[in-house]
A and B are shown apart, each in its own frame.
Chain A
């Protein structure tokens, strides 16, 4: 049989074509195509089982929980999708969002402005497990009169647990080493005192930073500014949230400068001197003197290195007014377009007031979402007892919320800070020019976001 050999040139052409195909694929839409769950359109009273789709973190919504719930509710089948907000948006755009969704505080104004959240107030009012009066203060993040008025009003969801995130942890060995007196745990430090301590605790050997004096989750930086400004009744945004004010806003400028100076002094990890790990791990390795991370971190603050040398402190103040809310408020909501609201509520109620919530409360990884479960918080070790005492003293200052901007993602301002602070730290951009750039780009993003919402 006659055969035709493929020449080397033809082979290369074919390979080139294949490579071109791969390259073209990169230009396709980046989001995963909407893979809507096979949700049923049957009402909750239908004879067959109802399927509820849950977008959640598999570590927080485990296989065991699914089995428990399905055993107790044979008419409801659960389909769990891993949390991915891009996928959520794609599913919502396709008109078939998951029924129950894990969210965080910065997502909520945007979701409400897009009319994606179901008002759960009537359900709360009729529930014996989730009574409105029993809701912990962090649930204020799920109450809103409008996308720019969070804190009170109809209830759209609930925290799974929470934490006063501005509270501090100190590594006392670092204080002893630097001969800095350990602060009184019953008193709230000022941010100025904190910066002073942070600089003193920073340990340097040659050009190396062996220990940062003070650190925080840098992704939260604009949330911290917002809380600082709120102490003075000021805001990062204009009243209608359609502008960010950094350049001509003295208070905002001071807040940003505070962190810039700490980074410049290498008292805090920064883009020129970053850590290879996350700050919690750095703290447990004894590489950070003070960490601003919130009560939840008490579950892991003590390691082999830090055991017996960690003290929790109250949240600091910027202008003398105590404000110690959570700034993440991780919880769940129900989609406005759910086809099975009663079944979705049943799951919601069970997750937040049933066995999983009891398990979470006893785990010590955060403050329960219900006040009636506070007594379950573990206080076995001396450190847990100390942390609990600080938590109890902090609770009266946790009612406030940080009002996030409904027109941009919660990462926008941080992302811009992250991009320009490196240049400012290198001196290729002045601090004020950095603020101008952040303000200009953030305002463009806000304007675009506002234009897209009908």
Chain B
């Protein structure tokens, strides 16, 4: 019985017992490693729990639904349809059309977005007066809600009453170019660039500011001109950032939905409204299948197919990085 022991001694005794138990539990780990591991799991647990219950579990449910005839309401009578939803998606001409338009849009949007946002970042990296002001101005469209931006663009680009045709009409009266219908893909690209350039620019700018100035100075001392410095110093050091941006841009473009829907006639009034055929993208087709035709199983199968496609594309892009992405650490490792 330790009832008469002094308090300090009692505390010590309890701690000793706890310590022994902990030691038993973390057999094979140093106390420091154990503390680090505990801290690590404690810190990541909010995200991890959220990821498991709000992402992994719905994902598994989604996967199961993709093999069923679930329509959002027939939970009690739902039937398995095996791989039929996947086979149907692969054979559906509308799905193929939507995928083609998505591929075209990605091919148009991604290089332009990368080139222009990189170019803007280089301009904003110059030591010029009012640089902060211009950085803010260029970033501003990224901070404005996309609905407001698209609405303004629709007013600009309207065939009959739009400002752009109004200005063109000063040169050629009566000009009425159908920007939002016949040139929907180009208009979508312009609007998306407008909204997305700011965020792209900020990431490139961060990369540019991470390049050690002494490397560029050394190149100049060696006689390199501005273009040569950019080509042989700046660009190689920026390739990891370019690579990262490329992967993200492909994923984002393949999943585009909001802007094309917002440029559709009557957007905001009816979810079954469709954008012009030129921007009938994959996610729009999927949305229609799920929410208009109530084909939840089929629509989710389409989403899984898109996921697989994006994974394949990402994998291919990753495979190319050995040819064009330069990592400083890799060189150091090789030297070592």
A residues contacting B by CB (< 8 A) are 7-9, 12, 15-16, 19-21, 23-31, 33, 86, 89-90, 92-94, 114, 205-210, 218-219, 269, 271-276, 278, 408-409, 411-412, 414-415, 418-419, 422-423, 445, 448-449, 451-454
Contact = CB atoms under 8 A, between A and B. Distances in A.
B90 interface: no
A21 B292 contact: no
Given A412-B293, A415-B288, A207 B176 contact: yes
B330 A9 contact: yes
B158 A276 contact: yes
A86 B74 contact: no
A275 B294 contact: no
A449 B159 contact: no
B303 A26 contact: yes
A26 B307 contact: yes
Given A25-B59, A208-B161, A451-B69, 6 more contacts: A7-B329, A8-B240, A29-B61, A273-B178, A409-B292, A445-B293
Given A23-B307, A209-B160, A411 B176 contact: no
Contacts of A206: 173-176
Interface string B40-57: 000000000001000100
Contacts, number: 169
B270 A90 contact: no
Contact of A12 (B240, B290, B300): B240
B296 interface: yes
B39 to A, nearest CB: 14
A415 B288 CA distance: 9
A219 B293 contact: no
A86 B299 CA distance: 14
10 contacts: A9-B327, A25-B58, A29-B61, A219-B269, A274-B265, A275-B265, A415-B274, A415-B288, A448-B69, A454-B74
A414 B59 CA distance: 32
Interface residues of B, number: 69
Given A27-B307, A272-B178, A278 B329 contact: no
A208 B161 CA distance: 8
Interface in B15-68: 51, 55, 58-59, 61-63, 65
Nearest to A420: B277
Contacts of B294: 409, 449
Given A208-B159, A415-B288, A24 B307 contact: yes
Contacts of A269: 265
Contacts of B299: 30
B180 A29 contact: no
Contacts of B154: 276
Contacts of B330: 9
Contact of A273 (B160, B244, B306): B160
B71 interface: yes
B73 A89 contact: yes
Given A19-B251, A272-B181, A415-B292, A90 B158 contact: no
A274 B58 contact: no
Given A412-B292, A422-B277, A454-B77, A27 B59 contact: yes
Contact of A452 (B69, B155, B160, B272): B69
Contact of A15 (B244, B292, B295): B244
Contacts of A273: 159-160, 178, 181
Given A86-B291, A206-B174, A409-B294, A276 B155 contact: yes
Given A29-B62, A89-B73, A207-B175, A21 B165 contact: no
Contacts of B270: 219, 411
A27 B51 contact: no
Interface in B240-285: 240, 243-244, 247-248, 251, 255, 265-266, 269-274, 276-277, 280
Given A7-B329, A29-B65, A274-B265, A415 B165 contact: no
A42 B294 CA distance: 34
Interface in B121-175: 154-155, 158-161, 165, 173-175
Contacts of A23: 251, 255, 307, 310
Q: Please provide the 3 A-B residue pairs with the shortest distance between their CB atoms, ordered closest to farther.
A: A206-B174, A274-B265, A207-B176
B290 to A, nearest CB: 6
Nearest to A12: B244
Contacts of A275: 265-266
B59 A28 contact: yes
A287 B328 CA distance: 63
Contacts of B74: 93, 452-454
A448 B299 CA distance: 14
B277 A274 contact: no
Contacts of A445: 293
Given A86-B291, A409-B293, A21 B55 contact: yes
A79 to B, nearest CB: 22
B3 interface: no
Interface in B278-336: 280, 288, 290-296, 299-300, 303-304, 306-307, 310, 314, 327-330
A315 B56 CA distance: 54
B327 to A, nearest CB: 5
